[in-house]
Structure 1
């Protein structure tokens, strides 16, 4: 067991499961607040940067948590 702060911390960006829409979308949460909807990976980056995340590495689980589908899941 480690005493490192942040070892079990939530990543700053959470991208929620695909929601129905035309086109389908995913809600984006940054630091616990919903900041908007994304229809693709570029939208996630824009929303995260606007909310203050400087280095948005979509492949880094310490930065982004993808819920019910990875970064390539944008449809049902």
Structure 2
């Protein structure tokens, strides 16, 4: 679903395999995978664990898109 939203909105993202990122799990207290961590100005603003649907995910991401 995230790939679909990324293509529709023309943005890129970074994915990591949490099996190799124990420090990341501890730092952000990630409870399960997949997890989408949304940052704004370098600060964690929201965590999404249930993507639900493309429209839902698009709506959640809208406030993080930057108009150029």
TM-score in terms of structure 1 length = 0.27
User: As a proportion of its length, which structure holds more helix?
Assistant: 2
TM-score in terms of structure 2 length = 0.29
User: As a proportion of its length, which structure holds more strand?
Assistant: 1
